């Protein structure tokens, strides 16, 4: 499984590198680098395992037989003497012990001599005993010829055989034993995998790595976009343009949201007044000011209080902004308070349109917000002055101010374009 995983990572590395090169999208680095690191870590492990198992690297790592296995091999006549023809390192080490290939000429007691290669993890202190021309005892896995394992601690009888036997020293060559390929597990424990599975693993790793690119690949295949468009989108210029479009879209969405929540749209203003009254615990206020998507108000700090606070209402949320900038003189507050619920906020769009018409300023300055103020103004001999609705109009060259009663009647007006009704009213006595 670890070998297939390694090849899957190889497919992911190839796919992410290709996608990075083709698209120019640096985001692929986030996949490419981890896959390269994982592949770099797993590859030595796979190579070590293959070396230990002899999977395509020259033979099987033959472990030393246990005492029981050695006794059984001796009783079955599978012990033999062998002369070392050559020893070579495979390049793999385990716990600082080299894995070596040893070419042997095996001379069994029963059967013909044969040459075989065995792979062994060699302890450093064993190296002198495994040099060319040294005679060792081996345990054959089966009847000769067969794979063998070197016995470094043989029975005493075989030690004497190894020291005195001349036949093994005189046998210089013999037919080579080449074990037939097996589809089962090797002696080292690795199962042989058909090459087709490695190809499938590479393709699967590439397919998984390219999942984020599937929509783009589909768009290119259907002609909706091109590789050139994709590369531009991932370039510095393309990203800057995309950021600019995103910023413009966000601003447009915010403007649309503000417009939808505007005080002069639907019943937004009436809802804002209701929220304010609910928060104050009383409908008594000194001033209401509507603008944009907000309502600002000046009202008593608490029901019955003689001090004033400034309040703000934004999309249903009411905040107390602290003391108002101007506090009333003793006895004056009763002449300033009015009931906020007596103002019909739905009439504001019509009043704004009439103020523009009366002032001759149909095109207002787009850089300035439209305001509507509601408060008591003027003077009265019979008590508090009446509540008025002040509608300022800001044009590019001229400004105007029109005051309406709560019934929508014009109370006063001034400013405006020359020749307009508000202009003539202001200069009527000139």
Interatomic CA distance for residues 272 and 250, integer angstroms: 25
- Contact between 118 and 60 (Cβ < 8 Å): yes
* Bridge partners for 317 per DSSP: 314
d(CA 160, CA 37): 53
Residues of the chain with pLDDT below 50 are: 55-58, 183-184, 186-188
Which residues have CB under 8 Å from 377's CB, separation 6+?
385, 386, 388, 390, 403
pLDDT at 364: 85
Q: Quick one: pLDDT at residue 60?
A: 56
CA-to-CA dists, residue 312 to 27, 281, 295, 316, angstroms: 45, 15, 6, 10
pLDDT at 96: 86
- Residues 276/297, Cβ–Cβ less than 8 Å: yes
- Is 14 in a helix, a strand, or coil? helix
pLDDT at residue 366, rounded to an integer: 79
The pLDDT of residue 211? 94
Closest of 338, 331, 230, 342 to residue 285, by C-alpha: 338
Distance between alpha carbon 292 and the CA centroid of its chain, in Å?
38
CA-wise closest residue to 146 among 80, 102, 238: 80
| Whole-number Å distance between alpha carbons of 132 and 136 | 11
């Amino acid at each position: 499984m670890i070998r297939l995983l390694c090849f899957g990572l190889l497919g992911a590395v190839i796919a992410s590198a290709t996608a990075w090169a083709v698209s120019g999208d640096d985001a692929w680095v986030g996949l490419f680098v981890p896959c390269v690191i994982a592949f770099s870590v797993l590859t030595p492990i796979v190579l070590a395992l293959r070396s230990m198992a002899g999977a395509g690297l020259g033979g099987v790592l033959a472990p030393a037989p246990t005492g029981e296995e050695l006794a059984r091999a001796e009783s079955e006549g599978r012990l033999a003497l062998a002369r070392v023809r050559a020893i070579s390192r495979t390049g793999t080490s385990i716990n600082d012990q080299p894995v070596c290939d040893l070419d042997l000429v095996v001379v069994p007691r029963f059967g013909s001599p044969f040459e075989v290669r065995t792979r062994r993890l060699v302890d450093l202190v064993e190296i002198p005993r495994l040099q060319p021309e040294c005679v060792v005892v081996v345990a054959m896995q089966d009847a000769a010829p067969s794979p063998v394992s070197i016995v470094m601690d043989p029975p005493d009888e075989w030690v004497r055989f190894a020291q005195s036997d001349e036949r093994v020293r005189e046998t210089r060559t013999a037919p080579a034993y080449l074990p037939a390929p097996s589809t089962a597990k090797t002696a080292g424990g690795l199962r042989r995998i058909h090459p087709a599975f490695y190809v499938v693993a590479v393709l699967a790793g590439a397919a998984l790595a390219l999942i984020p690119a599937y929509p783009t690949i589909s768009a290119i295949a259907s002609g909706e976009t091109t590789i050139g468009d994709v590369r531009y989108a991932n370039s510095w210029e393309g990203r800057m343009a995309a950021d600019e479009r995103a910023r413009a879209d966000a601003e447009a969405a915010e403007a649309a949201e503000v417009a939808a929540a505007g005080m002069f749209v639907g019943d937004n203003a009436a809802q804002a007044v209701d929220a304010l009254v609910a928060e104050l615990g009383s409908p008594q206020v000194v001033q209401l000011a509507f603008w944009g998507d907000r309502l600002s108000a000046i009202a008593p700090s608490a029901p019955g209080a003689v001090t004033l606070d400034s309040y703000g209402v934004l999309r249903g949320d009411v905040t107390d902004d602290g003391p108002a900038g101007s506090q009333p003189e003793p006895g004056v507050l009763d002449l300033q308070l009015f009931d906020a619920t007596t103002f019909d906020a739905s009439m504001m769009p019509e009043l704004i349109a009439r103020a523009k018409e009366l002032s001759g300023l149909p095109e207002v300055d787009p850089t300035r917000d439209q305001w509507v103020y509601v408060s008591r103004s003027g003077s009265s001999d019979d008590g508090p002055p009446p509540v008025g609705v002040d509608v300022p109009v800001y044009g590019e060259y001229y400004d105007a101010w029109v005051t309406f009663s709560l019934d929508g009647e014009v109370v006063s007006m001034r400013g405006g374009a020359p020749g307009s009704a508000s202009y003539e009213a202001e200069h009527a006595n000139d």
